[in-house]
Amino acid sequence: MTGQTLVDLTSSATLSSQVDLSNRLLSLNFDTQRGATTSVMVRQAIAHFIDRQELVATGPQTLFPKIAVAGSNLVSQGQPGYTGPPSRPLSDSSTVSSTTTTLPGTKPTGIDLARRFLQKAGWRLKGGKWVNRRGVPLHLRLSTARDDRWAIMATRSIAAQLNRAHLTTTIEWAPSAADVAAQVRRGEADLGVLARPTDPFIAHAAAWFSGPSANPSSQLWTGYRDHSIDTLASQAQRILNPVTALPLYQQVGRRLWVMMPTLPLFTEPFVTAWSSQLNGVVDNPYQPGTLAAATSWTLNSPAKAP
């Protein structure tokens, strides 16, 4: 839906509409099992080349200005427990915590930091392309879902930004988010843009990144394996009190920022439109959805003739 479409909806005499935050968290996901993106340095470099603020400002903010750069891999904007974006955009900070990805010396930022990460990983810029020690250029296959307008918009923007940074990036198309995850998991794509539905139970989101060797707990698992996250998520799931479990999920979140198997982009907007003759319609991005309350809706009484 475009901004003009929304204008048409809100100005219609026969329709009512509402725009809000959905529960769909759009993110960029990496193949961590094969190719160049097995290196956390390369993943951090790609993440720092991407200007998420530009992506959001030219995309969802044109429809719903309250949408901001995502600050969590587990909780979407507007949900309980969401603390907002980092104090500084990712592209303006060196790292999210002191880890083995921290680079020595002065603290570069943004693109300079991204270049430092790639150089540390053994890549160098030659002839307008990033090449490895054997002179083989870095080529990234970026998958996205055809059925998600916001994913398509973000993918095109990301591909353009990475190509400007001399990272040759081509777009691959998939039918759905689950297919994007499968392509990344099978090594058919190096990167994948997909939206995951969040809910008040953070354990469901943690399952996206804690995958067993068989029978993954989520179709949206992209193949990332991390014993630390598996352990933390398992411990948190055994705690019945969500407040008590929250610090463990926060540790999962911090680990994801450091290891960068995924880069959260933004929460997608949620648009609901209905006939102006209906009363009591309230949008609901969570299951069972807006239509579940249809039996409580009422019709406006017809206006009496004078």
**pLDDT (tens digit per residue) in 176-188:** 999 999 999 999 9
For residues 251 and 256, what is the distance between their CA atoms, to the nearest angstrom? 9
Residue in the block written with tokens 């691959």: 172
Handedness of CA 275, 287, 285, 58 (dihedral sign): negative
Q: Are strands 298-299 and 278-279 parallel, antiparallel or unpaired?
A: antiparallel
Is pLDDT above 60 for 126?
A: yes
Given this model, what pLDDT does residue 166 score?
A: 96
Given this model, what pLDDT does residue 154 score?
A: 97
Residue in the block written with tokens 């990036």: 169
Given this model, what pLDDT does residue 296 score?
A: 66
Given this model, what pLDDT does residue 268 score?
A: 93
Given this model, what pLDDT does residue 284 score?
A: 60
Is pLDDT above 50 for 157?
A: yes
Tell me the pLDDT band of 128, cut-offs 50, 70 and 90: very high
Widest CA span in the chain: 86
Is pLDDT above 80 for 56?
A: yes
Given this model, what pLDDT does residue 286 score?
A: 57
For the stretch 276-305, pLDDT in tens is 666 665 666 655 556 656 666 677 765 554
Cβ burial of 103 (10 Å; 0-12, 13-18, 19+) is: middle
Give 293's DSSP letter.
G
Cβ atoms within 10 Å of 123's Cβ, excluding its own: 24
For the stretch 74-93, pLDDT in tens is 989 988 777 776 544 454 33
- Using a pLDDT cut of 70, give the percent of the chain over it: 72
CATH placement of domain 22-291: 3.10.105.10
Tell me the pLDDT band of 95, cut-offs 50, 70 and 90: very low
Percent helix, strand and coil across the chain, each rounded to 5? 40, 20, 40
Given this model, what pLDDT does residue 82 score?
A: 77
Is pLDDT above 90 for 167?
A: yes
Calculate the average pLDDT of the chain.
Answer: 82
| Domain boundaries defined on the chain | 22-291
Given this model, what pLDDT does residue 280 score?
A: 61
Q: Which segment of 123-137, 194-208, 265-279 scores lowest on mean pLDDT?
A: 265-279
Query: What beta strand segments (E) does 98-177 contain?
Result: 124-126, 129-131, 139-145, 168-174
For residues 114 and 109, what is the distance between their CA atoms, to the nearest angstrom? 8
